[in-house]
Amino acid sequence: MRPSITLFPPRELHPRAWGREIVIAQTEHYLVKLLIMKAGAAGGLQYHAKKVESFFLQEGQAYVDYDAGDGQLSRLPMSPGMTVHVPAGAPHRVTAITDCTFIEGSTPVFDDRVRVEAEYNEPETGGLPTTTA
């Protein structure tokens, strides 16, 4: 017997201060989400212990703060059509300059975040609390 396709209804995750997070596909191998961020909103400065993700900026202007391996934060401006890959363990934070729409593909891992603002002498800007040590 051949495998069959599955219809996956989108499901919105819990309310986010920065906007909306909608799961549009989920399997045991991958997770795809639509992220809608409000202008001026930011996620937390964080890394994921296990999760690997890439996000594509479909609409809007944003920037990503990240550690390039030197213990300092660098800033990457994003414009539509750009994709950023974030390996597990890489500190990062996304800030929407304008209203933004992202498509994120990742490993299917939830509740895997470690906040690191204190390590960079940064104020907490938003996002969810640490869930993994």
Question: Splitting the chain (133 residues) into consecutive groups of 10 residues, what average pLDDT does each group show?
Answer: 91 92 96 98 96 98 96 97 98 98 97 95 86 72
The residues with which 42 forms a beta bridge, in sequence order, are 95
3-class state of residue 105 by DSSP: strand
Range of the domain at 35: 13-96+110-120
Q: How many domains does the chain have?
A: 1
Give domain status of residue 18, yes or no: yes
> What letter does residue 111 receive in the DSSP assignment?
S
Give domain status of residue 4, yes or no: no
pLDDT reported for residue 125: 77
55: its two tokens? 């996000």
The enclosing domain of 114 has a CATH number of 2.60.120.10
pLDDT reported for residue 133: 55
Give domain status of residue 83, yes or no: yes
What single string gives the DSSP state of each residue in 86-103? E-TT--EEEEESS-EEEE
pLDDT reported for residue 47: 97
- pTM of the predicted model as reported, rounded to 2 decimal places: 0.91
Asked if 114 contacts 132 with a C-beta cutoff of 8 angstroms, the reply is: yes
Give domain status of residue 80, yes or no: yes
pLDDT reported for residue 30: 97
Give domain status of residue 131, yes or no: no
Give domain status of residue 82, yes or no: yes
Residue 29 neighbours by CB under 8 Å, 6+ apart: 107, 108
